[in-house]
């Protein structure tokens, strides 16, 4: 079962593979969010860049197998498909995000053409793919072509050492909605010297400084909350599951996908947060960011279509 309507969403940024000792898992926040949105019946269009290599061809095949359009995926003959090396250490996994990857060189002209052709209902972007000037320029070109026509959702996703004050500030200027976790909010509070004692007060200061419409703050197992420009706080508590947590990889991306769906469907905010929270919690009960079978989505879609 799918939704009747099929809104188009542009997702700009990294598509990559996490390289483990025994396997490789395709992801990147834009890819994960797009994959969920496609399963929900929407029409995601990824704007990214992959290498002309084996990994890139496999990633492109995954995109096609999911029924997603690939016309926003650029091919790079000089740089490799994005990779993150996953190292197992005593305290858990350490992620090494490699430099000079294909998604660092997204072409601005091609991105602009996609935006004009697609006419999206929402634009989603993050900060990692802005670490190089070429892709950062491509994103600016995309956002300027929008000129306030549709909402722009910034998913902060801070990854050391691949961010700086300029990138974050520039991103906030072009966004009107942001998604962030509470640890990242603490980082921004220090970077921008936000006033206030509580996180709500600091979030309010950030909203005011950048004239944002709303801010979604995810808190892991503790739930999430949204603050809008009128000062209204909407809070959803975390869920207690009888099933064990396999991992939390991609839970935030799942939350973001349902949040986007709620925005476009104009669900009440508490309903959106509740549904996003339930979906993210369910993702924590499986291995990895994306379910192996589309059957995973069925119960959620059936419930949301009632």
User: pLDDT band at residue 2, thresholds of 50, 70 and 90?
Assistant: very low
Helical axes 165-174 vs 182-191, angle rounded to 10°? 110
E strands present in 57-170: 73-76, 82-89, 92-97, 122-126, 152-155
Element (H, E) at 108: helix 108-118
Percent of the chain clearing pLDDT 70 (strictly above) = 95
User: pLDDT band at residue 24, thresholds of 50, 70 and 90?
Assistant: confident
The confidence score (pLDDT) of residue 4 equals 43
Cα–Cα distances in Å, from 269 out to 4, 113, 137, 155, 262? Answer: 22, 33, 33, 18, 8
Give this prediction's pTM: 0.94
Model pLDDT for residues 245-262, shown as the tens digit of each residue = 777 778 899 999 999 999
**Distance separating alpha carbons of residues 32 and 154, to the nearest angstrom:** 15
Lowest-confidence pick of 81-95, 162-176, 221-235: 81-95
Lowest-confidence pick of 147-156, 179-188, 214-223, 241-250: 241-250
The confidence score (pLDDT) of residue 305 equals 82
Average pLDDT estimate for 212-236: 96
Output the CATH code of domain 8-304.
3.40.1190.20
Question: Residue 186 burial by CB count (10 A; 0-12/13-18/19+): exposed, middle or buried?
Answer: middle
Give the pairing type, strands 214-218 and 223-228: antiparallel
The confidence score (pLDDT) of residue 243 equals 75
Cα dihedral across residues 294, 300, 303, 306: positive or negative: negative
User: pLDDT band at residue 242, thresholds of 50, 70 and 90?
Assistant: low
Domain boundaries, the chain: 8-304
**Distance separating alpha carbons of residues 153 and 15, to the nearest angstrom:** 18
State the average pLDDT for the chain. 92
Give the pairing type, strands 16-19 and 24-27: antiparallel
Model pLDDT for residues 36-90, shown as the tens digit of each residue = 999 999 999 999 999 999 999 999 999 999 999 999 999 999 999 999 998 777 6
Give the pairing type, strands 73-76 and 43-51: parallel
* The two structure tokens encoding residue 298: 């069925």
Instruction: Give the 3-state secondary structure of residue 244.
Output: coil
Model pLDDT for residues 108-140, shown as the tens digit of each residue = 999 989 988 998 999 999 999 999 999 999 999
Task: Find out whether the peptide bond into 284 is cis, omega within 30 degrees of 0.
Answer: no
Per the CB < 8 A criterion, the answer to whether 226 and 217 are in contact is yes
């Amino acid at each position: 079962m799918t939704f009747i309507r099929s809104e188009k969403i542009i997702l700009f940024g990294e598509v990559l593979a996490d390289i483990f000792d025994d396997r490789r898992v395709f992801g990147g926040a834009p890819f994960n969010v797009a994959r969920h949105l496609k399963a929900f019946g929407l029409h995601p269009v990824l704007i990214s860049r992959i290498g002309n290599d084996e990994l890139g061809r496999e990633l492109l095949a995954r995109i096609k197998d999911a029924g997603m359009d690939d016309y926003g995926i650029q091919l790079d003959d000089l740089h490799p498909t994005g990779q993150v090396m996953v190292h197992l250490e005593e305290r858990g996994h350490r992620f090494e995000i490699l430099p000079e990857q294909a998604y660092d060189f997204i072409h601005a002209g091609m991105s602009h053409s996609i935006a004009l052709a697609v006419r999206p209902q929402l634009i989603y972007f993050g900060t990692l793919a802005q670490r190089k000037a070429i892709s950062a320029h491509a994103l600016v070109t995309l956002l300027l072509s929008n000129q306030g026509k549709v909402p722009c959702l910034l998913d902060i996703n801070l990854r050391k050492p691949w961010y700086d004050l300029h990138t974050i500030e520039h991103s906030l200027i072009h966004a009107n909605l942001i998604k962030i976790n509470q640890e990242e909010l603490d980082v921004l509070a220090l970077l921008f010297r936000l006033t206030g004692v509580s996180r709500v007060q600091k979030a309010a200061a950030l909203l005011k400084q950048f004239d944002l419409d709303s801010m979604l703050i995810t808190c892991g197992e503790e739930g999430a909350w949204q603050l809008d420009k009128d000062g209204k706080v909407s809070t959803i508590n975390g869920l207690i599951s009888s099933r064990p947590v396999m991992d939390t990889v991609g839970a935030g991306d799942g939350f973001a996908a349902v949040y986007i769906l709620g925005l476009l469907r104009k669900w009440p905010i508490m309903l959106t947060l509740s549904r996003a929270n339930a979906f993210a919690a369910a993702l924590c009960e499986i291995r990895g960011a994306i379910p192996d079978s589309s059957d995973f989505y069925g119960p959620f879609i059936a419930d949301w279509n009632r």
